[in-house]
Amino acid sequence: MKISVLDQSPISEGSTGADALRNTLDLARLADQLGFARYWVAEHHGTPMLACASPEVMIAAIGSLTHRIRIGSGGVMLPHYSPLKVAETFSILSALFPGRVDLGLGRAPGTDHVTAFALQRDRRQPAPDDFPQQLGELLGYLENSLPPAHAFARLAALPGRPHVPEVWLLGSSPQSALWAADNGLPYCFADFINPEGATYAAMYRDRFTASEAAAAPKMMVAGWAICAETDEEAQRIASSARMTRTLLNEGTLIPVPPIDKALAFLAERGPNPDSVARPRRAIIGAPATVKSGIESLASIYGADEVMIVTITHDHAYRRRSYELIAEAFGLI
C-alpha cells in the first residue's frame, strides 16, 4: 500500500499565509526524503485558515525542491477555469518534471458562493454547471483525442508534449464516482470530508470503463490523521484542528489556534463538539494506532493508496507526524 500527503497549507494563529507556504515547501522536501508516494497541494480560496489558493504555483516550487516524489493538485477546481488553460499549465509542469506530475480535478468551488463568483471572469450571470463537458474537453486536449473537425482540435498540440500529467478525479459524492468510472479515470475519495464513501468506491469499481488513462480501477482514499509518540499526545495536538472544525461546522473560519486555546475551547463546549453537526473520521494516536487506522481505512475503500492530510498549529508537530507514519509503514 502506498502512503501519500495532501497539504492544505494551514495558516496558524500568530503566523502569516507566507509562513504557511514556506511550511508547505519544507514539508514537501521532508516527504520526498521519507519515501511518501505523492505530495498533493489543495485549492481553497478566501479563507484565513488555508493559504493554498494556487496549486499550480506550489507544484512548480515543490518540483524544484524535490527529486523522487510525485507532485500534483488535490485538486484543481475545474469550474473556475478554462479547460485549455488547465491543460497547458499541467502540460508545462509535466515537461519540467517528467513522470512526476498528477492533475487531480474537483468539481467543488473550494470556497463560498461569493468568493466563487469573484473568481469568475464574466460576472453577468453565474457560471454554468457543465463539469462533464469541461472534463471531456480537458481530456481531449491531454489525450489528443479531439475529433479533427472539432473547433479546438489544433490546440491539443500542448507546449509540454510528449509529457502529460496523470489525471485523477477527486470527490466526496456518488456523482464523482460515476464520472470517474465513466471516463476511466483513477479516483480519489475524500473520506476526511465524507466518511460514508465506501459504497461509492464500490460503485466506481463496478462501473469502471477502461480508458487510455487507466486499464483498471485505481482507487485512493484521503483521510485525516495526526500521529505522535503517544495516543494522549496525539489527542492533545489534534485539539487545534478539532476547534477549527467545530467552528467550520458553524460557518466560522479561523486560523489554526494554539493547543492551549483549543483545549480551553473544547472543554467549554463539552465532549466531541466537532462531530455533532457533521461526523467525520479522524485517525489520531501513537504510530501503532495510526498505522492500524490507515490500514483499516484502506480496507474499507478497497484502496491501494491512502493520502494523509494533517493540520496542527505547530509546524514541527506536523513534520513529526509524517515522520512517525513513514517509520510505522517502513517507508524510510
Peptide bond connecting 75 to the previous residue in cis, omega within 30 degrees of 0: yes
Q: Is a pLDDT exceeding 90 seen at residue 126?
A: no
Mean pLDDT of the chain: 94
Provide the grid cell at 193.
470530508
Exposure b/e, 174-184, CB count within 10 A at least 16 = b: eebbbbbbbbb
pLDDT score, position 111: 75
* For residues 308-332, average pLDDT: 97
Domain ranges for the chain, please list them: 2-328
Q: Is the pLDDT of residue 274 over 70?
A: no
Q: Is 60 exceeded by the pLDDT of residue 83?
A: yes
pLDDT of residue 269: 86
Residue with cell 490500514: 295
At 170, phi and psi to the nearest 5?
-105, 150
pLDDT band for 277, please (50, 70, 90 cuts): very low
Q: What's the whole-number mean pLDDT along residues 33-44?
A: 97
Question: pLDDT tens digits for 177-197?
Answer: 999 999 999 999 999 999 999
The grid coordinates listed for 30 are 521532508
CATH level 2 (architecture), domain 2-328: Alpha-Beta Barrel (3.20)
The count of residues in the chain is 332
HSE (side-chain half, CA atoms, 13 Å) at 19: 14
How much is the pTM?
Answer: 0.94
